[in-house]
Amino acid sequence: MEGFHEGQKVWVSQSDGSQRSGIFVSDAEIPGWFGGAPAAYVVYPDTRTGEEVSILQITPRDEG
């Protein structure tokens, strides 16, 4: 799986199947002994809000 870097433009898959443009901030802490998928923090430039999402929801955004 590709690693992400701070400030990288990404797509974040939403629960309704759409994608939202975001910016990768950092990996979230490893869930510890509770398990679970790796997570990351992203921010959304359009609303200036952020959230923790599963790393599996994130794909690189190519703005070429």
d(CA 63, CA 10): 10
Is 2 a residue whose pLDDT tops 80? no
d(CA 20, CA 37): 20
pLDDT tens profile 3-62? 899 999 999 999 999 999 999 999 997 666 667 778 999 999 999 999 999 999 999 998
Is 1 a residue whose pLDDT tops 60? no
Q: What is the pTM of this model?
A: 0.82
Q: What is the pLDDT of residue 36?
A: 75
- Nearest residue to 61 (alpha-carbon basis) of 36, 44, 39: 44
d(CA 61, CA 7): 12
